[in-house]
Amino acid sequence: MKQGKLWSWVIFILGALYFLVPLYATFDFSLHIRRDHLSFDAYANVLNDPRFQAAFSYSLIIGAAAIVVGLLLVVPAAYYVRLRAPHLRPIIEFITLLPLIIPAIILVFGYIRMYNTSSLIPLLGTNFGSDVLLTLAYVALALPYMYRAVDTGLRTIDVQTLTEAANILGANQATIIARVIFPNIIVAVLSGAFLTLAIVIGEFTIASLLNRQVFGVYMQNVGANRAYEPSALAVISFVITWGAMGMIQLLARFAPKTARLD
């Protein structure tokens, strides 16, 4: 028993070192923009760069839009499948896995072919149309994670009983989803939202070919021309990611919980 516990600690330490040592090396390198002197100049250069501010703000806006659209699609669909059509679950799960199977480069060339300026729906003819297309592309990329997060949340509650109780009180389907189901799966929704935002922040291929200046494109451009600022950007991204994870864990303690009865 003690030997098994010892090996658990060894594996844990090796795993921690696997992640922390490269992070420390990146952070240490970002501080050496001045020779023989540690400084945060690389971080100041990045944060004060108007292109960084514009790209990061744009990514947050597109990410928020992708989260809203994804939730409007996924929550009702997952709720309906679980409540009314459980036999469709294998089909829905297969469809949601397609973005993991089809490379992003193929998706974006398909979008360009279907929505160019000479097509019936010329989304790429305007900046707003390109923004809409990029948002929908990110919704598709995040679909496997968003659907499984929401579906996992629905499994932790008694959907059938909650729906019947709400129907007795006179609530319609939209009210049930918005005021009964959604609050009970808020932690799962936040997990899906966080994963969607992480995809948006780090994605490069689709945004680059659609000529959208998102955070991933900015990182690539900076990395092609500078040495220390990309390391600073990597550390900043890591801090934002872990901050969001910490918020999810904090909110999970206060989220309403309903036990399953089946």
Distances (CA, A) of 166 to 119, 163, 232, 254: 46, 5, 51, 23
CATH code of the region 49-252: 1.10.3720.10
- Whole-angstrom distance, CA of residue 173 vs CA of residue 149: 21
Instruction: Give the residue with greater pLDDT, 195 vs 80.
Output: 80
Q: What is the pLDDT of residues 24-81, one digit of tens each?
A: 888 888 888 887 788 888 888 888 889 989 999 999 999 999 999 999 999 999 999 9
The pTM of the full predicted model, rounded to 2 decimals, is 0.84
pLDDT at 256: 52
